[in-house]
Amino acid sequence: MFDFLKKNKKPEPIFEILGTDMHNHLVPCVDDGSRSAEESIECIRTMQQLGYKRMYITPHFQFPRFPNDEDDIRQRYESLKKTLAENGVTMELVGVAGEYRIDDSFAHRMETSRFLKIDDKYVLVELSLHQQRMGVEEVIFDLHVKGYEVILAHPERYPYFNVHSPMMEHLKEQGVLFQLNVLSLGGFYGEGAQRRAFDLLNAGWVEFLGTDMHNTMYAHALCDLSHNRKVRKALEKYQFMNSTL
Ligand SMILES: [Fe+2]
């Protein structure tokens, strides 16, 4: 009966409590995220309505699909910042980092070591969404030896992992910080990811929340999510480190 009202409901600023988003793809045209400055502006304005005040942008670095280069990304990020200012967007862009896929090219990346980091210390890494990879713990060990802290992006999205997987436990023992996608809590990536997301929260294994915003479809999904009582409760119940960034 009230469906038409629900569709037009204004987004609630439920992410004010986090303050900072630290995972999204809003540098235009460098990966599978935003396709134009206009789209980035629309997404960022929505994020402001949802309560976000600050953000890092984290394009994919994944060879050969997204063969991004740190210097080029930095330049594009600065140009986006300028465009946002010209359009009166007041979101504070704190920095640009990368979402680095641990893949065959990662060993080379380690040697050249030009990681774009969050807060000058965190390297955001992701794994294959389909297949478990051997040797991830060794990569994490090497990153720690080099003095980086490691954040694993969306652990709930890997179907071969759950809170009972020995490898996940091992990553936690190694000190890897976990970043959950907020949209997983609303079922955006399916029931399995949703269940794993709540299991991870209950286990106390989640340090950061990220939007992983790619485009306006994600922005609309986040607006819907802002009316979700379970999500609101989770934001109040658990402590996240987003506000430290
Ligand atoms: Fe991402």
| Domain positions in the chain | 12-240
- Position 1 scores a pLDDT of 45
- Position 7 scores a pLDDT of 57
Cα–ligand 1 centroid distance for 209 (angstroms): 12
Q: Are 174 and 140 in contact (CB under 8 A)?
A: yes
> Which residue in this structure is represented by tokens 């630290």?
22
Rounded CA-CA distance 67/50 in Å is 32
User: Angle 219-48-81 (CA atoms, 0-180°, nearest 5)?
Assistant: 95
Going by pLDDT thresholds of 50, 70 and 90, the confidence category of residue 107 is confident
The encoded tokens of residue 223 equal 């607006």
Rounded CA-CA distance 201/228 in Å is 16
Cα–ligand 1 centroid distance for 62 (angstroms): 11
Cα–ligand 1 centroid distance for 116 (angstroms): 14
* Nearest partner of 183 among 219, 130, 237, 233, judged by Cα: 219
Cα–ligand 1 centroid distance for 212 (angstroms): 5
Cα–ligand 1 centroid distance for 88 (angstroms): 26
Q: Kindly write down the DSSP assignment for every residue of 19-34, as one continuous string.
A: -EE--B--STTSSSS-
Which tens digit of pLDDT belongs to each residue from 182-212? 999 999 999 999 999 999 999 999 999 999 9
Cα–ligand 1 centroid distance for 3 (angstroms): 31
Cα–ligand 1 centroid distance for 124 (angstroms): 9
* Nearest partner of 98 among 23, 148, 37, judged by Cα: 23
- Position 105 scores a pLDDT of 84
Cα–ligand 1 centroid distance for 147 (angstroms): 23
Q: Are 32 and 214 in contact (CB under 8 A)?
A: yes
- Position 10 scores a pLDDT of 86
Which tens digit of pLDDT belongs to each residue from 50-71? 999 999 999 999 989 998 999 9
Cα–ligand 1 centroid distance for 95 (angstroms): 16
Cα–ligand 1 centroid distance for 1 (angstroms): 37
Rounded CA-CA distance 156/218 in Å is 17
Rounded CA-CA distance 118/240 in Å is 15
Sheet holding 92-96, edge to edge: 20-21, 54-57, 92-96
Q: Which fold has domain 12-240?
A: TIM Barrel (3.20.20)
Which tens digit of pLDDT belongs to each residue from 111-162? 887 899 999 999 999 999 999 988 999 999 999 999 999 999 999 999 999 8
Residues with CB under 5 A from ligand 1 (ion): 99, 212
